[in-house]
Structure 1
Amino acid sequence: MDAGNLGSLQLQVRLRDETVLPSDYYKPLVELLCQEVKASYKVKCGPLLTLIDETTSAECRQEVATNLVKIFLGQGLAKEFLDLLFRLELEKTNEPNTLFRSNSLASKSMESFLKVAGTQYLHNVVGSTISRIFEEKKYIELDPSKVEIKEAGCSGLHRIQTESETILQSAQYLQSYLTDLLIAIAKSVRICPAIIRATFRQLYKRVEECFPENKHMNVKFIAITSFLCLRFISPAIMSPKLFYLREKHADARTSRTLLLLAKAIQNVGNMDAPASRAKESWMAPLQPTIQQGVSQLKEFIIKLIDIEEKEELDLQRSLNLQSLTVKEGQLMVYKTKCKGYLLTSSFKKLFLSLTVDALNFAKTQFSKTSSFIPLSRIRALEKVEEKSFGNSNVMQIIYTDETGSLEALYLQCKCVNELNQWLSALRKVCVNNTDMLCSYHPGVFKGEKWSCCHQKDKGVAGCDKTRHEVTLQEWNDLLNPDLEAQLIFKHLIGVWEQMKEKYEEQKTHDNTDPAKTDSVTQLFQILQDLEAAHDSFLSDSPSIADQEKKYLLEL
């Protein structure tokens, strides 16, 4: 690399502009989908979800699954929706060993459901083990072809540690981590959200009905572990940053330890299948712990699905995502003094907790809230110019005080990723705020003038346009019924022709129930009406349409 050349970085960024209509426009679509799920819950699966399943390509299946899950979560029908998909999958499966192993709509929907409804549960189960691995930074390797020979012993008595000694020591460390994790899972029945427990109970029941033979006695357990272990816990162990368990990605040594632990959990989740053992025979030193883990996991699953019907009354309360903490963390905070005049740039470290009602401040994570800003008072959330504080990762919150005067609060983040995440989270919870500003000052008011435009009137209109519509699209976003319905509508419009072809095929191959014909016809009519509404809304009321636009920035 040439001197002074830091190389290059390739980014794949998708900027998506969505026009979201008022709620009433999406009501017929959501009601039809809910009607389908309710009608199909105790009888044969209906045609609408079958059509969506068969016409959703692999490229967009994850996004469609996430949007559908969030729609039905908001309608209190997540368990029923997932049960319908379980039955669709079971109808197409003759081989129990491949059940829910493909990236079908059922698998992707369940994966999204666990992420949305079970993130806090996941943190409680794996958090302490992940933290321990990051803190200890042990060298761990079981694969002889990858073992690094290193020195052992105290100062003056150095000797080369043999390969077998390294593997033995590594196995002991991994056994300790795996044991801790299995104990944490076994103790987690009561903290697992009731809706997840009830959904797993349905899955267990459906698989048991489909494969009742004794030779398939493990299949109902593996159906649950294929989601809980293989698609939820193991990915979180391998990439803790992606599941908000760590702020940074692991270094190479820690990453290898995490991968080996994830493999071990996968083997436990596979009920110690012979194929898993044969594939990586060098995992043999962990075999006793894995075998013990299988029996522990079975006992855990039996307790997990032992949930009474009356407990499901608490489902909405346990899943009331709107009342949970949206985002929290420690940031450097600076509040303007003397009615907005910035006299110094001294930031103070505080712990911030964002809910759907307020942004709360405390000295530490466990301190009582010292102050807060009601979200209804926020008028703008924007970045600050680097020259203002000598740091490029500063954002500002413009809000009104008790007298209605505008004030500013500055948050200094560690990196651009943290900055964008806080901006996005705050903008999402303020999406329905009225009187949001159309312009703002990207600088600060210091020395009797704005650092950005040099105007001397503090109350002058901002010199740059606000961007409160620009957010990151993430799986852990709060429920946003209108946006989710819009994204499903957009997908269905895109596969309109394929759905019509599939539907015509179905009608020619069997005698379709008139009621089913009506529901499919209704769907096509609703999509047509929504498309016309979009065209009319944008052409007839451009000013109103601009107010309804939501922008999603996907990284």
Structure 2
Amino acid sequence: MMLIDETTTAESRQEVATNLVKLFLGQGLVKEFLDVLFKLELDNAGEPNTLFRSNSLASKSTESFLKLAGMQYLHRLLAPTINRIFEEKKYIELDPNKVELKEAGCAGLHRMQTEADVIQQSTTHLQSYLSELLHAITQSAPYCPLALCQAFRQLYQRVQERFPDKEYRKVKFIAVTSFLCLRFISPAIMSPKLFHLREKHADARTSRTLLLLAKAIQTIGNLDTLACCSREPWMVPLQPVILQGITHLKDFITRLVCCEDEEDLGLHTRMSLQCGTMEKEGFLCLHRTKDKCMLMTSHFKKYYVTLSKDTLSYTRTQHSKKSSFISLPKIRAVEKVEEKSFGSANVMQIISSEDSGQMETLYLDCKSVNELNQWLSALRKACSHNTDAMNSYHPGVYKGDKWSCCHQKDKTDAGCDKTRHGVTLQGWYDPLDPDLESQLIYRHLLGVRIAMRDKYLEMTKAEEGNGKDSMAGQEKLDGISRFFTVLQDLQDAHSAVEEAERSRNKNFLLELQT
């Protein structure tokens, strides 16, 4: 990890970190992986208050880990407050240099708002949003994912061991909040669309409110009561809530990292959030077909669709007791539909099999490409373990007497395009594929192996020059040597497969010629 960290460029570090996290998460070793990175970062730490503030491999990996393991937790924390802000669209501004004044009052009693009026109203609204959000965070221990709890506990303990002096008593808290608040919660508040909290980016007014709220969370995450609001004096009106938030956040972290009993942290609840199925619901327009021919004029009807652990169900109203459903194990494919089929680029199809063996297709028309991709991702992840998935499908519809995509006349034709069961949004909630991540990491290691070998030789000379012959130092060098041996073995294996493939192709061409 040390060699990878020091030889990976800033441009590729995030991608490498994400691949490593996915690899070790898929192998059940992410806690051990992050612990190695924490120790490496702490061994090289100079100023304790700047821990994990750089874009090191440790920082990037932990950031990716939070997104992979904690996105549902984040949504539960932020969604109520974020949705409220978008719906209320309050004008909020604390900076006197940016305040816009407007008329206030009833007809005939118009008066201009003063700067103090605007700031007072803004303070009230922001205090309400901030208090609501802080309450959600500090009460979230029962449903914080187990993997996150373990990682934060490990980080907290490592920092405490590295900086045990009383003067550094806050550093272990700041190490946790630097990830939880500064790299996870605040960025999601500022850009909720990027974290799939909203379908669209915020307008200018809402965006400013989100920015001010994110600033307040960052200030609380820094845990600095003395410097609170010193850089931006116009944030002072929020100081009482911020100071109270710092106290409550420290108490929350203490509970989170000191609770060894998994039952106390609500293991059952947390594990349900980590299951393979991403639960999702919302209104969509549906069209269902069995034996019928599809027509361009087919009408879609609005239904409330719910994806749960075992089924995809849909009802005419959100609270209707009468519903239709598809059992997830019966789903054979989940794919996009060509735009020309229905005149929309946001239609997807769910192909499932009935007990009789007959195939049925359900078409879903989404409001936007983001919603389409979210449903594709959620459904494919939910069906990732289905054993009878289709290998091919028709991206068009059967219209008249042929398929619109390939013009085949056989309605039961296998399909003209390859299904994409494991390819969704390429995001943090996609199904883990350790084999793919292994291959991606292998390719990266091949690209930097010369730089890593140079670094290894540099370390060896340094050990010899310092006259060090410690057991730990020798074990480290032996481990690196084994690493290069394994990398060479992998390269030889790849070369052998490629050579065998070339030989088969050559023999095939010779057979054709003869």
Which TM-score bucket, shorter chain as reference?
A: 0.7 to 0.9
Report the counterpart of residue 510 of structure 2 in structure 1.
Answer: none
Alignment of 1:324-473 (within 5 A): 324-325=277-278, 328-337=281-290, 339-342=291-294, 345-354=298-307, 359-361=312-314, 370-375=324-329, 377-378=331-332, 380-427=333-380, 440-460=393-413, 462=415, 471-473=424-426
Report the counterpart of residue 490 of structure 2 in structure 1.
Answer: 530
Give the letter for the 1:374 counterpart: L
Q: Shift in Å at residue 217 of structure 1?
A: 2.1
Report the counterpart of residue 239 of structure 1 in structure 2.
Answer: 191
Match of 2:429 among 476, 481, 484: 476
The answer on whether the counterparts of 1:194 and 1:318 sit within 8 Å (CA) in structure 2 is yes
The answer on whether the counterparts of 1:336 and 1:407 sit within 8 Å (CA) in structure 2 is yes
- Taking the aligned partners of 2:26 and 2:391, their CA distance within structure 1 comes to 31
Is 1:516–2:476 an aligned residue pair?
A: yes
SS in 2 for 1:144: coil
Is 1:217–2:177 an aligned residue pair?
A: no
Mean Cα deviation higher: 205-214 or 250-259: 205-214
Match of 2:256 among 277, 281, 304: 304
Q: Shift in Å at residue 267 of structure 1?
A: 0.6
| 1:97-140 deviation digits (Å, cap 9, x = unpaired) | 21111111111111112211111221222221111111110000
Structure 1's 321 and 179: CA in aligned 2 closer, same or farther, altered over 3 A? closer
Mean Cα deviation higher: 499-508 or 58-67: 58-67
TM-score normalized by structure 1? 0.80
Report the counterpart of residue 489 of structure 1 in structure 2.
Answer: 442
Q: Shift in Å at residue 251 of structure 1?
A: 1.0
Q: Shift in Å at residue 351 of structure 1?
A: 4.1
Structure 1's 355 and 507: CA in aligned 2 closer, same or farther, altered over 3 A? farther
SS in 2 for 1:371: strand
- Taking the aligned partners of 1:233 and 1:320, their CA distance within structure 2 comes to 18
Q: Shift in Å at residue 445 of structure 1?
A: 1.9
Is 1:293–2:253 an aligned residue pair?
A: no
| 1:342-386 deviation digits (Å, cap 9, x = unpaired) | 2661223334455787655455667777312435641x4443233
Alignment of 1:250-289 (within 5 A): 250-272=202-224, 274-275=226-227, 277-289=229-241
Mean Cα deviation higher: 307-316 or 151-160: 307-316
Structure 1's 463 and 96: CA in aligned 2 closer, same or farther, altered over 3 A? closer
Mean Cα deviation higher: 315-324 or 195-204: 315-324
Unaligned segments of structure 2, at least 5 residues: 464-468, 506-514
Report the counterpart of residue 4 of structure 1 in structure 2.
Answer: none
Q: Shift in Å at residue 94 of structure 1?
A: 1.9
The answer on whether the counterparts of 1:340 and 1:407 sit within 8 Å (CA) in structure 2 is no
Structure 1's 349 and 183: CA in aligned 2 closer, same or farther, altered over 3 A? same
The answer on whether the counterparts of 2:225 and 2:243 sit within 8 Å (CA) in structure 1 is no
Structure 1's 463 and 89: CA in aligned 2 closer, same or farther, altered over 3 A? closer
Give the letter for the 1:418 counterpart: E
Report the counterpart of residue 173 of structure 1 in structure 2.
Answer: 125
| 1:22-46 deviation digits (Å, cap 9, x = unpaired) | xxxxxxxxxxxxxxxxxxxxxxxxx
Q: Shift in Å at residue 336 of structure 1?
A: 0.8
The answer on whether the counterparts of 2:330 and 2:353 sit within 8 Å (CA) in structure 1 is no
- Taking the aligned partners of 1:499 and 1:370, their CA distance within structure 2 comes to 58
- Taking the aligned partners of 1:138 and 1:420, their CA distance within structure 2 comes to 31
Unaligned segments of structure 1, at least 5 residues: 1-48, 546-555
Report the counterpart of residue 15 of structure 1 in structure 2.
Answer: none
Is 1:58–2:10 an aligned residue pair?
A: yes
Mean Cα deviation higher: 300-309 or 452-461: 452-461
Higher relative contact order (CA 8 A, sep 6+): 1
| 1:311-355 deviation digits (Å, cap 9, x = unpaired) | 599599828844332655432221113x24226612233344557
Alignment of 1:1-20 (within 5 A): none
Give the letter for the 1:524 counterpart: F
Corresponding pairs, count:
494
Give the letter for the 2:283 counterpart: Q
Identity %: 61
Structure 1's 258 and 377: CA in aligned 2 closer, same or farther, altered over 3 A? closer
SS in 1 for 2:9: coil
